[in-house]
Chains A and B, each alone.
Chain A
Amino acid sequence: MTDETKKKVEDKIVGLVKEYAGKKRFKPIDIVKEMEKEFASEGLTKDDIKAALKEIMDEEKLVYGYAGGSFLALPENQ
């Protein structure tokens, strides 16, 4: 996965969470499945998507939330 595609995946994920903030709680597993479909044409695997997600977390663009199950949240909403 090039840095460029990784960036694209990251932006897409963060964008989705922002867009649906307060309406839908994205579970990491759903995001990974969604992105797998979205970027299938670029040959990205589940592990690539997970790596992108890890980077998002490392940079604290998103954080994990928990309510009976884990979900992705914006840091400012926590």
Chain B
Amino acid sequence: MGKKHQTPLLDELKKGKWISFVREIERAAEKSERTEDLLGQVEESYRDKVNHWKHGGMAGVKSYGAGMVGRFSEFPDKYPGIKECHSMRIIPSAGFFYNSDFLRKLADISEKYAGGLLNFHGATGNIQVLGMSQAEAEDVFQAVAELGFDLGGSGSDLRTPSCCAGQARCEFANYDTMKICHDLTEEYLDELHRPAFNYKFKLKFSGCANDCVASAARSDLAFIGTWKDKIKINQDEVKNYVKKLNVQKYVLDKCPTKCMWFEGEKLVIDDENCVKCMHCINVLPKALRSGDEKGASILIGAKAPLVTGPRMGMMLVPFYDINEDAKNDYEWLKGLISNMWEFWDEYGVSRERIGELIGRVGLNTFLEGIGLEPIPEMVGHPRSNPFIKFTEDED
């Protein structure tokens, strides 16, 4: 049997050493016939240099306002298999750890009810099952739920939180990223499923300043592992490194605060001036380890360009004692988040991310609103212009 659609342009992309997504779509089409039409439409896009998806139209499962993204072909008659080609977002297992039993069953579901195509993972970190119709959505949802998995966020809601592998497989992790990610997802499940925000809100957890989940660039609230006390130094291992590496040039000279030096053969660190950037530990992992008083910095407001330009996360809480707060079921953090959401609900406008709101009303107004005091860690430097608005509320 020949192919349903000729795809000379896509066929070009089956050549070469890197694994081919075209081949993957073809393999999916072998199991789920409708996906042949996806190949046909994408080939047409390659010819026309423009996408052929229609905008508008919804998809969802009962009672949830999130977890599915609707997608409709522009040419339903020509490509009936993808007339409806919706995707479903599934909350991943924290740290993206799985076993073969679950993955096989999920592959079966995707072929039985959808296009046999999956994303591991979407940019937010959801597993995505692609290519189902609205009529099939409930079946996919229930089949996935029987495996113990639920749908993730989409729309104006809390997006599926995500985290790095953390303590499961990384010695750099300063807190249990997977636990807090899991616990807060559970805590805020309603906010994931039932959009009630001005716009999206993201939580991401990285165990150290290497920030492997890019939390500081894309989450409204980023948790970046850090420590309060001294870097632990194994001087024997330092000596071993010195034998094979120019430690002065590649470690000491690159330290952003120049807070490390040698006294004879002994490495000395002025920990009070260390900004916990991880560079020295990255390069000398056997010799250096973060301290014992561990927690996380909380940065706020990162987002992608739309609508008013990209933002990086900015320092809000220099040291959050996660271990202590976890004992009280994250009482402090939940209070902080609830204050933020209240403020955002009250003063934010539609499609305004919390970082944009802070930009609009000013950090001071925001801090007052959520009950935090201004501290020097929040700024790169104090103001340099003299337009001070003195207020009456001085003590």
Expressed in whole angstroms, the Cα–Cα distance for A52 and B321 within the complex equals 37
Number of A-B contacts (CB under 8 A): 66
Can you list, as one digit per residue, whether each of B58-71 has a CB less than 8 Å from chain A (1) or not (0)? 10101111100010
Can you list, as one digit per residue, whether each of B202-222 has a CB less than 8 Å from chain A (1) or not (0)? 000000000000000000000
Can you list, as one digit per residue, whether each of B128-154 has a CB less than 8 Å from chain A (1) or not (0)? 000000000000000000000000001
Within the complex, the shortest CB–CB distance from B352 to chain A, in Å, comes to: 10
B70 (CB) vs chain A CBs: closest residue = A66
- B58 lies within 8 A of A32 (CB): no
A25 (CB) vs chain B CBs: closest residue = B350
Within the complex, the shortest CB–CB distance from A65 to chain B, in Å, comes to: 6
Q: Is B156 at the interface (CB under 8 A from chain A)?
A: yes
B66 surroundings in chain A (CB, below 8 A): 64, 70
Expressed in whole angstroms, the Cα–Cα distance for A45 and B50 within the complex equals 48
- B196 lies within 8 A of A64 (CB): no
Q: Is A33 at the interface (CB under 8 A from chain B)?
A: yes
Within the complex, the shortest CB–CB distance from A50 to chain B, in Å, comes to: 6
B57 (CB) vs chain A CBs: closest residue = A78
Q: Is A57 at the interface (CB under 8 A from chain B)?
A: yes
Q: Which of B56, B58, B154, B198 contacts A63 (CB under 8 A)?
A: B58
- B58 lies within 8 A of A65 (CB): yes
Can you list, as one digit per residue, whether each of A57-72 has a CB less than 8 Å from chain B (1) or not (0)? 1101001111111100
Known: A33-B345, A50-B194, A50-B196. A69 touches B63 (CB 8 A): no
Q: Which residues of A contact B (CB under 8 A)?
A: 27-30, 32-33, 50, 53-54, 57-58, 60, 63-70, 73, 78
Query: Which are the 6 A-B pairs with shortest beta-carbon distances?
Result: A64-B65, A70-B195, A70-B155, A70-B156, A28-B196, A57-B63
